[in-house]
Amino acid sequence: CESNDRHMASKDYDVVVVGSCMTDLVSYVPRLPKPGETIHGTRFSIGFGGKGANQCVTAARMGAKTAMVAKVGNDSFGHQTLENFKLNAVDASCVGVVDGLSSGVAPIAVDERGENAIIIVSGANSHLSPDDVVAASSLVQSAAVVVCQLEVPPQTSLVALKRAKESGATSILNPAPAQTELDENLYRYCDIICPNETEAELLTGQTVESIADAGQALKLLLDQGCDKVVITMGSQGAVFGTREHPEAYHVLAEQVTPVDTTGAGDAFVGSLAYYLAKAPQLSFQDIISRSCKVAAVSVQRLGTQTSFPLRHELPDALFAV
């Protein structure tokens, strides 16, 4: 991937994601094992994942023109990841293939209630560098929306957020996996920070279990310098606030029976990016509400990317403007 002028004439891409690619190794179990315990699983599957790839594929399946900036290993998982991007119409011209490193993998256990536990082995993801983002600058700066997470080095995400701000793109930071401290510049350069309740707890040092708790955490995050905060709360929906209107607004989620919650947060973030790019005239509350509905669809299906709906599988009302 080389910086050039071919992307620079306009916002050629709706969503560009700078982030991780993983191969999910999913075991379905009656319940999650206790430390030191061995239990029998009921089923095993291999699928595509990684927060960055998940968010990009969600937006692409909903109809956004997307591209990915990432790294994979020169192995079977890496080559299959590139083919998966092609099948989902994601531009992977800035996905590098690295010799001598494995692709990222994520062993996942999913219990009968749909709850999960995940281990991340970053592999090539940890070698996505700020220089890689600089090399992909023309692609990043051609996007209406740029999305970053923390499954790649935080300084790499920071460079992407800075490039987004320079070009006038809307930027989203999904601060996952959870960390106790973030470089303050990550807050300053992202337009929207979107943690889940666990991530919000670690970022603020506050308990986030109730909607009221989320409202308090939201104010602390706004104080760090970002323009908008969205805290996803699983079945409770989402809480959001803005620097202009710092009071907490609660958006309810549809109550469904989950079969697998893996990737639900990524479905939300990818949907958020889609709507910000394709329907910016909608209110922020409406965008969050629609994103919650897409995430609710995903938890009713098994797998990670296999659970993300295609546009024709979603109600027309979700695309009305």
* Token pair recorded at residue 232: 């996803």
264-278 vs 51-62: helix crossing angle, rounded to 10: 50
Query: Among this protein's residues, is 286 annotated catalytic?
Result: no
Residue 187 and residue 226 in contact, taking contact as beta carbons nearer than 8 Å: yes
Strand 228-232, strand 170-173: pairing: unpaired
Whole-angstrom Cα distance, residue 24 to residue 286? Answer: 32
Residue 10 zone, left/alpha/beta (φ > 0; ψ -120 to 50; rest): beta
How big is the chain by its Cα radius of gyration, in Å? 18
By residue count, the chain amounts to 321
Closest-CA residue to 67 (of 162, 153, 149, 141): 141
Whole-angstrom Cα distance, residue 255 to residue 269? Answer: 19
Q: Which residues contact 300 (CB under 8 A, 6 or more apart)?
A: 256, 257, 258, 259, 307
Q: Which member of 14, 91, 266, 286 is catalytic? A: 266
Distance, C-alpha 231 to centroid of its chain: 13
Q: Just list the catalytic residues.
A: 266
